[in-house]
Amino acid sequence: MPNRADLADFAYVLAIARHRNFRLAGLEMGVSASALSHSLKALEGRLGVRLFNRTNRSVTLTAAGEELLAAIDAPLAAIGQAVENLARFRDKPAGHIRLNVVADAATLLLGPVMPVFLDRYPDIAVDIVASNRLVDVVGEGFDAGIRYGGTVPEDMIVQRLSPDLRWVVAASPGYLDRFGVPTRPEDLLHHRCLGVRLGDDRIYQWEFEGPEGEFAIALPSRVTVNETPTMQAMAINGAGMMYGTEPAFAPHVAQGSLRLVLEDWSTTGPAFHLYYSSRRQVPVPLRLLLDLIRELRPLG
């Protein structure tokens, strides 16, 4: 019969099996890679079998490790879920969540929501990595990600966080006074346009919708940027036209530092979605954050 040390170390075995990497498994479990390795060696010593084959380049399960994993995965997941469920009986839910978030969602969704979340749940810590680069949220040790619909991996549970998003073109009044206002998307070929670099390093083709449906234009760009705030700073100062979501431009349009153009040609794209692995229990702090985003509806 396993002792308490075995039960604790079984959780480490599951994390190592998920990530096949001691550093990432340690990040998930909140311990160092060396502590994780020490615990695994102690467990293997008590059991008298090797559970993982470890080299400088790979970590793989042995046959004994595969058999142990099959036996403990579901029971430990059920225990973890039961512990998470107890949080609803606490006066103050506690815990920690780690999120990977596309940069615009960090600004538009989490920016308005986090002050309320921190006031309401003072014992919950949130670690946010804002990046447009696509990552494996499970493999990188995140509890969940927030991305545009259509870019979410198919094997995930997905929750909508916003309405569909309108994509528009904007420029500063000074730029438009100097270079003129485009009346058709094709006119952009003769303008200075700020290129958009996607998370997979592709250059985004600006999308529009006209009488014959949706279409995209590949625009030559002397300046290419991978996130909205930098691009907005350049556009506001007259560097060129920029393309992005209407909510991201709204404050600057209201202040008069940007003007929308080609609005009749604007297209609508997928909403922001939160996604997480279907193979792991949902942490209570993540459920509370999801509920609060839906309650406050920062994007309507």
In sequence order, the 6+-apart residues with CB closer than 8 A to the CB of 167 are: 207, 243, 244, 245, 246, 266, 267, 268, 269
Residues 16 and 1: their CA atoms lie apart, in Å, by: 23
N- to C-terminal Cα distance for the chain? 54
How far are the Cα atoms of 21, 45, 107, 292, 295 from residue 298, in angstroms, in the given order?
Answer: 37, 53, 10, 10, 9
- What pLDDT is stored for residue 125 in this prediction? 95
The pLDDT, as a whole number, for residue 273 is: 96
Mean pLDDT, residues 206-223 taken together: 94
**Is the CB of residue 111 less than 8 Å from the CB of residue 274?**
no
Residue 91 burial (C-beta neighbours within 10 Å; 0-12, 13-18, 19+): exposed
Q: What is the pLDDT of residues 143-198, one digit of tens each?
A: 999 999 988 887 889 999 999 999 999 999 999 999 999 999 999 999 999 999 98
Cα(200)–Cα(297) distance, rounded to whole angstroms?
A: 29
> What would the mean pLDDT of 130-147 be, rounded to a whole number?
89
Q: What is the pLDDT of residue 89?
A: 56
pLDDT at position 168? 97
Residue 91: pLDDT band with limits 50, 70, 90: low
Provide the percentage of residues in the chain whose pLDDT is more than 90.
Answer: 59
Mean pLDDT, residues 207-230 taken together: 94
Q: Do the beta carbons of residue 28 and residue 98 sit within 8 Å? A: no
Q: What is the pLDDT of residue 194?
A: 97
Spatial distance between the Cα atoms of 215 and 73, rounded to a whole number of angstroms: 48
Token readout for 149 is: 């619909």
Most distant CA pair in the chain: distance in Å? 79
Q: What does the mean pLDDT of the chain come to?
A: 90
Q: How confident is the model at residue 19 (pLDDT cuts 50, 70, 90)?
A: confident
Q: Kindly indicate the confidence band of residue 26, based on its pLDDT and cuts at 50, 70 and 90.
A: confident
Mutual angle of helices 4-19 and 63-85, in 10-degree steps: 110
The candidate with the shortest Cα–Cα distance to 140, out of 300, 21, 14, 270, is: 21
| Better pLDDT: 268 or 89 | 268
**Tens digit of pLDDT for each residue in 239-282?**
999 999 999 999 999 999 999 999 999 999 999 999 998 766 78
**231: Cβ–Cβ under 8 A, 6 or more apart, which residues?**
194, 196, 225, 242, 244
Structure token digits, residue 52:
């993982």
